[in-house]
Amino acid sequence: MIQVLAIITTHPGKREDVLAAFRENRAAVLAEDGCIEYGAVVDAANLPPGWASFGPDTFVVVEKWASLPALQAHAAAPHMKAYGARTKDWVASRAIHVMEPVGG
């Protein structure tokens, strides 16, 4: 299994616009072969002082895929290309961390 943490930072005030597009695209992603989990998370409300947060313009997409080829197919899917085109002017940066479980 492959796990992905995609950290998406939008231009100021654009996070909800990108999340709306994400929500509209989510069903198509969940229907992809090999998709196990695909959801967005934001900082929890009322965090104690000193706890790390991404801030109001960032969200994280938590993904699980059956295999690396399934993830690669996802990245090339037409609906992902359309999502990228729709949101490109709202996104300031993104970091895609592709990970695998530690055995033991």
CATH of the domain at 75: 3.30.70.100
In a domain, residue 50? The reply is: no
Q: Residue 29 and residue 43: Cα distance in Å, rounded?
A: 23
Q: Which domain holds residue 24?
A: 2-44+55-99
The per-residue pLDDT for range 5-24, each reduced to its tens digit, is 999 999 999 999 999 999 99
Q: Residue 36 and residue 46: Cα distance in Å, rounded?
A: 30
In a domain, residue 79? The reply is: yes
Q: How many structural domains are present in the chain?
A: 1
Percent of the chain with pLDDT over 90: 97
In a domain, residue 62? The reply is: yes
Q: What average pLDDT score do residues 39-43 get? A: 98
In a domain, residue 104? The reply is: no
H/E run at residue 69: helix 68-76
